[in-house]
Amino acid sequence: MIVWLNGTHGAGKTTTSAFVQQLIPYSRVFDAEKVGETLMDITPGLPATDNFQHWPPWRPLVVETARRVLDYTGGTLVMPMTVLVEQYWREISSGLAQHDIPIRHFVLHADQETLRARIAGDTVLGPNSPFRLQYLEPYAEAARTWLHAEAEVVDTTHLTPAQAALQIAEAVK
- pLDDT recorded at residue 64: 98
Asked: is 2-172 a CATH 3.20.20.80 domain? The reply is: no
What is residue 125's predicted lDDT score, i.e. its pLDDT? Answer: 76
pLDDT in tens, 158-171: 999 999 999 999 99
Q: What is the pLDDT of residues 106-127, one digit of tens each?
A: 999 999 999 999 889 888 777 8
End-to-end Cα, the chain, rounded Å: 12
Higher pLDDT, 118 or 145: 145
pLDDT score recorded for residue 121: 87
In angstroms, rounded to a whole number, what is the distance separating the alpha carbons of residues 22 and 74?
A: 16
In this prediction the pTM is 0.95
Which residues, 6 or more positions from 34, have their beta carbon under 8 angstroms from its beta carbon? none
Predicted confidence (pLDDT) at residue 129 exceeds the cutoff of 90? no
pLDDT at 32 over 80: yes
pLDDT digits (tens, 9 = 90+) for 97-107: 999 999 999 99
